[in-house]
Structure 1
């Protein structure tokens, strides 16, 4: 039920704020931006949700500062560090691919890396605030940015096919 409230809020936001704007700019813009919105909603689901029902309790637990030692779990062989690294890279691959498609500018690599960094930093700062069980780690930021960079490489490789597909949607 907690997650349903967050998803309902995201649905209302999409329908009443974004859908009309994106639809008026064309089917291609609507498709890409909706895909990005759905992707970001799933990122929120896996990293921060439930958010709305957690808000009244954010001060009920201590805020644990971010671990600033990169890859400490790897060097200490703690937990399922390989799985965590792989999942963090995979989580941001779509961002690296989709973000440039939502932009109207060229030379998107720097912007893509910057925004995937901001998204990851925001998640890492908010995780222990929203939920006292979750922790924050610099390794996650590094691996998220790496995933965004790999996703951008896929964007560059598949750009001709992607642009052709979006042109087809436009007409």
Structure 2
């Protein structure tokens, strides 16, 4: 039920603000911006949902579960470390691919926005756990690195596919 409320709120935000703003542009811009919006909603679903804020503060152990040492889980031989690294890279590849199409920005700007997006997610996870949210969510500095790498790989894919992307953009 929590997820349904979150999706309804995000759908309402899309319709009341973004759709009304983007529909005034070309159909191509509406479609690519909507794809980016749906992608961001899916990332939020995987990383933050359901959004829960307790009136009482959550666990004070949240800071103790936060990881501020890059690749600590991998170095310590944690079984799921490689899987988490790969999934974080894959998760941010669409951002690195779509962002330069939408904003027509270069690699540095794309990487900075990818890192900023990742920081927002990680800090939201930390705050959420402090406020009584999902205990399985915690800040991990490794995610900042792997998400940014994913954004970079997505950007490289954009560069490789730019002639095709440009052809699609020009034809619509």
Q: Please say whether Structure 1 and Structure 2 have the same fold, judged by a TM-score greater than 0.5.
A: yes
- Name the structure 1 match of 2:101: 101
**Equivalent residues in 2 for 1:17-166, closer than 5 Å:** 17-51=17-51, 54-57=52-55, 59-62=57-60, 64-65=62-63, 66-103=66-103, 105-106=104-105, 108-130=106-128, 131-166=134-169
Cα deviation for residue 100 of structure 1 reads 0.7
8 A contact 1:63–1:132 mirrored in 2? no
The answer (yes or no) to whether the contact 1:28–1:167 under 8 Å persists in 2 is: no
Task: Kindly indicate whether the alpha-carbon contact (under 8 Å) linking 1:117 and 1:144 is maintained by their aligned counterparts in 2.
Answer: yes
| Structure 2 residue ranges without an equivalent (≥5) | 129-133
TM-score (norm 1): 0.91
Contact map agreement 1:63 1:129 (CA 8 A) in 2: no
1 CA distance for matches of 2:74 and 2:101?
Answer: 34
Rate the CA distance shift 1:9–1:79 in 2: closer, same or farther, 3 A. same
Assess if the C-alpha contact under 8 Å between 1:89 and 1:148 holds in 2: yes
Provide Cα deviations, 1:103-150, integer angstroms capped at 9, x if missing partner.
1x44x2111100110111111111132233312111111000000000
TM-score (norm 2): 0.90
Residues of 2 paired with 1:48 and 1:58: CA distance? 19
Aligned length: 165
2:169 and 2:55 map into 1 onto residues whose CA distance is: 44
Please list every run of 5 or more consecutive structure 1 residues that lacks an aligned counterpart in the other structure. Answer: none
SS in 2 for 1:60: coil
**Which one is further off, 153-162 or 63-72?**
63-72
CA distance in 2, matches of 1:27, 1:50: 32
The secondary structure found in structure 2 opposite 1:127 is helix
